[in-house]
Amino acid sequence: MQRLKGIGVSPGIVSGRAVILIQRAQVLRYRIATSRIEHELQRLDDSRAVSREQLLDIRARVAQRRPELASLFDAQLLMLDDPMLVPHATDIVREQHVNAEWAVQQVFDGFSAVFDEVADPYLRERKGDVADLVGRLRMNLRQGVAMPRDLLREVDEASVLIADELTPSLAAQVDWTKVRGFATDAGSRTYHTAILARSLDVPAIVGLHDASQHVQPGDLVVLDGSASELIIDPGPEDLARAAHSEDYCPGVDAEAQRHLPATTADGVRIRLEANIEFPDDLAAARYAGAEGIGLYRSEFLLAGSSLGANEPDGAPEEERQYEIYRSMLEGMAPSAVTVRTFDVDEDQLASRLAQHPLAGGWFTEEERASRQGLRGLRLSLTRPELFQVQLRALLRAARHGNLRIMFPFVSSVEQVRHARAMIAEARAELARRGEDVPPVPVGIMIEIPAAAYTADLLAREVDFFTIGTNDLIQYCLAVDRADERVSWLYEPLHPAILRIIVMVSRAARRRRIPVSLCGEMASDPALLTLLVGLGLTEFSMTPGAIPVAKEVLAELRSDELRMLARRILRLPTIEEIERELLSVVSKSLMTRSHL
């Protein structure tokens, strides 16, 4: 038995067989039953045959135009038959009972290490050829199996996913009825995927460093999100605890609380809405008693998008999005649904839309060496066709409910004006088609310090603000929220964060526009009480956090919270702030909030 400690980000305890996903290499590693080994080897063989045909075909085309380059492909064809490549991978499948993709990757890693040692630059360059060939083999292995979701379907039993990292787009494709929980090497508490785990109600641990190397596919593991522990080869006691996990109780009588509106002990109404990633989460939001959807992260729509290269005009995509938005609005009516337009960066867009013309042209790898800049609204403004499709679908859907459109990652008034002009353009196009659409409130996320510092100016341009503390904290404190080496510096109670929140909410109030807060901070009951003290009355959070928030707020008076906030705003250190917060909010709450 071995116990690995990480950061528990979603509570609950489950057991299952480990499935390993190495996302950086896009390779899933799982155990193959003896009866399926021949099938696996057949896949490997088929992949080699298809790769050979493709290489011969490319070679013939290249030879016509650039005969001197054709020999490059001769080298790859020779490698395809090298006993160190496919036959070696075959041995790995047979001996280790692992899937073919993983075996091919193992072979490549072995080659890679050897090439790195070679002094001769010509020979070192050959590593690129091997990488190219291995990439081709893996691509062809995926044919008919396609995505990790499908690969996970091949896994026979209930499993626990162990990954180096798990991006939200991949997490969105996992069949969570099969995968009971997950653990990742990377990450922190506000890691997007951790947020997702909480909204899916899947136990999860992040920040385990090297669990994906340590755990072998098929190992029996117990994942205890509440105790932040992954147990490899568990004993009967841990297995029994996991078997009784259905008895897990979050500590509040959610049933009784969930249909009552949230109020403080002295009767101040607090509006609690839900953050969701999938249209299917609407049920969870309604069940939790959410008063609306405060944040729908629409970029999840792009994962698994049906966009095909033969749909250049975007018409089927507009229809697909329209239907999804419409069903959400109808499902939530008369409550509001705030749809945030796509918040992806270029790499994410590339991985989701592949070669589709709507995705626009790509910058080269070097040009986009920095991954910070082109994201959210900024990216949408550089992809007008894609953006127009989304805006038209949204405006059409607005007829069926209470829609609000929100732009992410805004840093200037110019961007807001540009985006509003794009909405006007979408509206004009719909009018040309004879479609009349109602007015829709337009708001922005305040999640970049520049936006916070110009909140008074931005407030004149929009109908509402939503403070996104997940990003605001990372950009304000210069801490990458997914980097575990600095994640301990990611601190919502930093005096700078509290001040910036006060500044934004004052700017909104002066202009009489609504302001809510939708970062993970709001899901933490202790921090929520402080935010109420700072003057905020609207929040959007993971649906599962809503019942707890209601219970906690009902116990506290708003005037006491305001005084608490006033005292806290004068304190210079996080430690003192935390101590002061604990004087009002019980220790048990604080502990529970940090899982």
Please identify, using beta-carbon distances, which residue of 79 and 472 lies nearer to ligand PEP.
472
516 binds, among ligand PEP, Mg ion, none (CB under 5 to 8 A by kind): none
Take residue 261 and report the two structure tokens written for it.
């509106």
- Each residue 420-459 as x (binds ligand PEP by CB under 6 A) or -, in order, gives ---------------------------x------------
- CA separation for the pair 39, 56 (Å, rounded): 26
- Burial (Cβ within 10 Å: 0-12, 13-18, ≥19) of residue 471: buried
- CA separation for the pair 332, 339 (Å, rounded): 12
297 binds, among ligand PEP, Mg ion, none (CB under 5 to 8 A by kind): ligand PEP
Annotated catalytic residue 249:
no
551 binds, among Mg ion, ligand PEP, none (CB under 5 to 8 A by kind): none
Q: How far is the CB of 540 from ligand PEP (least distance, A)?
A: 8
The reply to whether 317 sits near Mg ion by the rule CB under 5 A is no
Distance between start and end Cα atoms, the chain: 24
Alpha-carbon 360 to chain mean position: 23
- Beta strands 262-263; 269-276: pairing state: antiparallel
Q: How far is the CB of 77 from Mg ion (least distance, A)?
A: 47
**Judged by CB under 6 A, which of 346, 471, 484, 524 binds ligand PEP?**
471
Q: How far is the CB of 473 from Mg ion (least distance, A)?
A: 10
Q: How far is the CB of 528 from ligand PEP (least distance, A)?
A: 14
- CA separation for the pair 10, 224 (Å, rounded): 9
Please identify, using beta-carbon distances, which residue of 349 and 518 lies nearer to ligand PEP.
518
Please identify, using beta-carbon distances, which residue of 281 and 447 lies nearer to ligand PEP.
447
By residue count, the chain amounts to 595
Q: Smallest Cα–Cα separation from 458: which of 391, 388, 522, 407?
A: 407
Q: How far is the CB of 89 from ligand PEP (least distance, A)?
A: 39
Closest residue by beta carbon to ligand PEP: 468
User: Which residue in 192, 356, 476, 494 is the catalytic one?
Assistant: 192
Determine the longest span between alpha carbons in the chain, in angstroms: 83
Take residue 223 and report the two structure tokens written for it.
């994942």
Q: Hey, is 163 helix, strand or coil?
A: strand
The reply to whether 519 sits near ligand PEP by the rule CB under 6 A is yes
The reply to whether 277 sits near Mg ion by the rule CB under 5 A is no
Q: What is the 3-state secondary structure (H, E, C) of 268-308?
A: CEEEEEEEECCHHHHHHHHHCCCCCEEEEEHHHHCCCCCCC
Taking contact as CB under 6 A, which single stretch among the options 24-32, 305-313, 353-361, 467-475 is the one that binds ligand PEP?
A: 467-475
Please identify, using beta-carbon distances, which residue of 467 and 577 lies nearer to Mg ion.
467
Q: How far is the CB of 302 from Mg ion (least distance, A)?
A: 16
Alpha-carbon 57 to chain mean position: 39
Phi, psi of 29 (to 5 degrees): -115, 120
Taking contact as CB under 6 A, which single stretch among the options 309-317, 348-356, 464-472, 553-561 is the one that binds ligand PEP?
A: 464-472
Question: Which residues have a Cβ under 8 Å from the Cβ of 150 and sit 6 or more positions away?
Answer: none
Question: How many CB atoms sit inside 10 A of residue 158's CB?
Answer: 14
Please identify, using beta-carbon distances, which residue of 224 and 299 lies nearer to ligand PEP.
299
- Burial (Cβ within 10 Å: 0-12, 13-18, ≥19) of residue 353: buried
Q: How far is the CB of 401 from ligand PEP (least distance, A)?
A: 22
The reply to whether 468 sits near Mg ion by the rule CB under 5 A is yes
DSSP assignment of 426-475 equals HHHHHHHTT-------EEEEE-SHHHHHTHHHHTTT-SEEEE-HHHHHHH
Of 269-308, which residues contact ligand PEP (CB under 6 A)? Answer: 295, 297
Please identify, using beta-carbon distances, which residue of 297 and 592 lies nearer to ligand PEP.
297
The reply to whether 468 sits near ligand PEP by the rule CB under 6 A is yes
Q: Smallest Cα–Cα separation from 449: which of 501, 505, 511?
A: 501
**Judged by CB under 6 A, which of 140, 159, 402, 469 binds ligand PEP?**
469
Question: How many CB atoms sit inside 10 A of residue 326's CB?
Answer: 19
Please identify, using beta-carbon distances, which residue of 167 and 470 lies nearer to ligand PEP.
470
Annotated catalytic residue 518:
yes
**Judged by CB under 6 A, which of 141, 497, 518, 565 binds ligand PEP?**
518
Of 316-345, which residues contact ligand PEP (CB under 6 A)? Answer: 343
Q: Which residues bind ligand PEP (CB under 6 A)?
A: 295, 297, 343, 447, 468-471, 518-519
Q: Which residues bind Mg ion (CB under 5 A)?
A: 447, 468, 471
The set of catalytic residues is 192, 518
